[in-house]
A = this chain, B = another copy of it.
Amino acid sequence: MTDYMPWHDDEPLAEESLPLETSSPDWPPPGSPDIVIARAVTPRPITEVAARLGIAPSDLLPYGHTKAKLPHAFTDDLAERPRGKLVLVTSITPTPAGEGKTTATVGLGDGLNRLGHRAAICLREPSLGPCFGMKGGAAGGGRSQVIPMEDINLHFTGDFHAITSAHNLLAALIDNHLHWGNELNLDPERITWKRAMDMNDRALRHLTVGQGGQSVPRSDGFDITAASEIMAILCLAHDLDDLQRRLGEIVVARTRDGAPVLARDLKADGAMAALLRQALAPNLVQTLEHNPAFVHGGPFANIAHGCNSVMATRSALALADVVVTEAGFGADLGAEKFFNIKCRQAGLAPNAVVVVATLRALKMHGGVDKEALDQPDPQAVRRGTANLARHVENIRSFGVPLVVAVNQYDQDSDEEHAVLREACEAMGVEMTVSSHWRDGSAGSEALAERVAALLDAPTTAPTLTYADETSLVDKVRSIATRLYGAADISLEDRARRQLEEYEALGYGHLPVCIAKTQYSFAADPELRGLVEGHVLPIREAELAAGAGFVVILCGAIMRMPGMPRHPASDGMRLDEAGEIEGLS
């Protein structure tokens, strides 16, 4: 049996907390596929991992031997406990070269544990869609992964499926209401609630449902589950009660008189809450170095708010001394929403921010083609730092100290590092090269030391970009001009009418959640590097009253991805031993 530690015990960690070499003497060579590296490690029972956070086996809901949920009875009690320090990992504007934000989050967490801090990480759950489409899995990479990676990438503890079910139950209840006489007088042309599926399936983007004479025909479409308002609700709800309340607040349609129709009006909120009851409980797994990792909630940061769940973050803060979490895509999207939506709603106060960059991505921002990234090009790095500088400035606007972490690649040259270091010095920010991808926590020790040094300062509330009472239009404008470097915003008539309606209905106090391309400060994904003085075009808005924000759609952003000509699923297979091949 495992002895578990009392909470916030200040005794030094047991020897087994520094497990790398002892637990896995036969590491495959660096550059091996992620799944090969992941399988070289024998996972510890999840009860042992939980014990390091002071969680007793009876306070865990196991899902197999290496995954667990923290039941509501346990997390409800955590709300009373004091808080650890919170570190946010974000990045420069992403490029096709890849930045490694999840990998950096895992590496930093392992590095902090290696230094003797009781650290936990908080990640988002991967979506099945990209896993079979282009991107592959999303459980970190190299020696900085969370395991069991096959389970985490496929179904995991069923949270996405619960969200899909709740989403589609509400949709079915809407059409069922139309079928049985439409007592609430819904306008079939103004039903805003679509359907959801956790799949990349472009054929479902636009469709006509209710054909064949048995139902009311109308235009509809599927969004990917990660883009569902219910995903956002799950990620922002404080507890079961708050979950059920938020579900009831969802606006699904307008009546023929223009009045909003809520999920509560359709009596859908209770059944949806029942479907989501278990999904709201945070998931606990481990890193390759057996450190605790909460993986819970998975909204995309380009089309949603892109942060893991408040439930998981708060639970981790009650159980660990340091919590490292990520926000999706670049700091303009993920970190902005982390502060202005998640911290605002959950009262979180981050103590430090890590901005992840790679020389390769900086070179792309400096104008280099993807094919030429292996060549040293210090001038391109220098040009690319303009992108980094804007993100650094933006993070500073929130009043939180930061460091720049450079994910090391084998091809990186000393000269390029020197150029970047010089640029960081000019910005007045420290830069650390980190090789956790190749070396695990041995490679992230320096980064962990740098971050730990920032955590001694007292915790202060972040400076948010706008106040609740600012108008919706001005909220968007303040983000665009202060953080994106835009000269102004332009609103299509439709968007303007929508924002006016939301304010008239009493939703003007909500924060905004900007849906735009992750590849640029502008709405055009081709504009890399630093973009300035542009006008951000607002096409449309959407009320997410349950999640508690207004989505602002900029340019052509899609909420149902498609698959490439040769999807990742082509290469997957069960081998003769019944193990999964081809998942990366």
Contact = CB atoms under 8 A, between A and B. Distances in A.
Given A215-B205, A563-B172, A574 B199 contact: no
A68 B144 CA distance: 30
Interface stretch (A250-258, A267-275, A362-370, A407-415): A267-275
A202 B175 contact: yes
A569 B61 contact: no
A22 interface: no
B155 A168 contact: no
A221 B215 CA distance: 13
A384 to B, nearest CB: 33
5 contacts: A72-B578, A179-B202, A205-B211, A206-B212, A274-B572
Nearest to A71: B64
Interface stretch (A92-100, A157-165, A395-403): A157-165
Contact of A207 (B128, B197, B202, B209): B209
A294 interface: no
Interface string A194-231: 00011111111111111110111001110000000000
B132 A277 contact: no
A281 to B, nearest CB: 10
A59 to B, nearest CB: 11
A168 B560 CA distance: 14
B574 A274 contact: yes
A216 B583 CA distance: 29
A190 to B, nearest CB: 16
Contacts of A239: 578
A155 B155 contact: no
Interface string A562-577: 1101010111111010
Q: Oligomeric state, in number of copies?
A: 2
Contacts of A164: 161
Contact of A172 (B201, B206, B207, B216): B201
A180 B565 contact: yes
A582 interface: yes
A511 to B, nearest CB: 26
A150 B221 CA distance: 31
Contact of A215 (B63, B203, B215, B567): B203
A278 interface: yes
| Chain A interface main SS type | mixed
A208 B211 contact: yes
A273 B161 contact: no
A385 B240 CA distance: 51
Contacts of A204: 209
Given A202-B210, A267-B570, 18 more contacts: A62-B62, A62-B64, A63-B63, A154-B277, A161-B165, A172-B199, A172-B201, A172-B563, A173-B567, A173-B569, A205-B212, A241-B576, A241-B578, A244-B574, A271-B572, A273-B574, A274-B572, A274-B580
A419 interface: no
Contact of A197 (B155, B168, B269, B580): B168
A65 interface: yes
A172 B200 contact: yes
Contacts of A234: none
B65 A64 contact: no
Which of A179, A210, A567 has the most CB atoms of chain B within a 10 A radius of its CB? A567
A169 interface: yes
A219 B211 CA distance: 10
Which of A151, A176, A210 has the most CB atoms of chain B within a 10 A radius of its CB? A176
Contacts of A214: 202, 205-206, 562
A122 to B, nearest CB: 22
Contacts of A357: none
A171 interface: yes
A158 B156 CA distance: 10
Contacts of A173: 563, 567, 569
A581 B269 CA distance: 12
Nearest 3 CB-CB pairs, A to B? A206-B212, A270-B573, A271-B569
B65 A171 contact: no
